[in-house]
Structure 1
Amino acid sequence: EVTGDQRPPKHARVEGGGSMVSGPHKLIPGKAAEEFVLPPAMGHDCLLDGKIVVKISDADQTILASMGPESLRNVVADSSVAVFKLLKVATFLNDLASQTKACADAKGKVTKLEKELHDAKEEEGKLKEKVGELEEKLSSLTLTSTTDEEEKKVDPTGTYAKFSRADLIAKIYEVRDLQIEVASSSFQNALAQLQVLNPGI
């Protein structure tokens, strides 16, 4: 609702490309505007197809008509410089975006490589532990093999291979007692022979 002499601002509506764009498009000469919406050229694919007449405002025509050749050349030169500056800024921003993306990709690769390196170090530690265990087993097998060879030299027929430690100790005592008994018997026989040969002893 509008009261008094106040009137709501008029907003032009322009249809293009199947979409509706609204906003102030007209400027009043000599007065500042809070907002100016550029014509929706991006939505008009047929803007320069020859069927649409492109015009400039009467005020701009009056200004351009009042300018001399030198002034027009200056306007063209200034506008060309502005276009080149715009191209430079656009190129710089494009390169900056590419560098930013490349930097982000590089950081992602670095993070991935760091994780792979960490995993590789953990795997290396596990493999070292396995190598240590295998070396211990190999050493044990070598010792067992050497022990088996020595046992074969002492017991070539394998008579005592299945004996327990207690059985071996008992067998040692048995052999010792037998040797003592044999030695005692031999001594007694030798003594008896001496007595026969020497009755006076």
Structure 2
Amino acid sequence: MITLLVVDDHPVVRNGLSGMFASDPDFEVVGEAGDGDEAVRLARALRPDVILMDLRMPGTDGVTAIASLSRLGVESRVLVLTTYDTDSYVVPAIEAGATGYLLKDAPRDELLRAVRAAARGESVLAPAVAGRLMNRVRAPGAGPLSQRELQVLELVAAGKNNREAAATLFISEATVKTHLLNIYAKLGVGDRAAAVAEAFHRGLLTPKG
């Protein structure tokens, strides 16, 4: 079972999300918070697997809370769930340590898949967010995938999760996540499966055997 902390300043949103996840036996909502300070306090006490984090909240905002959780060593994965998809929100959230970034108009099944992926330490981006990051990477003239990015992608294609890929390449999980986000942006995709499929389509990866 995946444990969740829902963070949003609107009670109706929190109740709706909690009810949605409560209807699925794979999830348990262990707490709710209405601002960043409360989110950090509850995350330290409850240690949920995944934190669904809104960004714009009164008092301490989501990005500040994400940075605080990273600094305090809280291992919960943070999945941003917001209505804002501009660079001024996306980039700071990811740099602060968010595992993924979804928009509130995401279908239920997509959100459930994203939370499961986040619990495994995988990075997930909404298509609109992936597109923005792709444009940001391409702005100065993005080239092909780097050698290290290709190595990460090969391991992902082989079924390795972030932790296993990090151990294989002797780098940190955070570095693997950064490489994956760069890969998503360069390939114009939003998740691991799409990245692998696109890489095969472009000939960047070739089937083994």
TM class by shorter-chain length?
A: under 0.3
Structure 1 or 2, whichever has the larger Rg, is 1
TM-score computed with the length of structure 2 as normaliser: 0.17
Higher RCO structure (Cα 8 Å, ≥6 apart): 2
TM-score by length of 1: 0.17
Which structure has more strand as a fraction of its residues? 2
Point out the structure with the larger helix share.
1
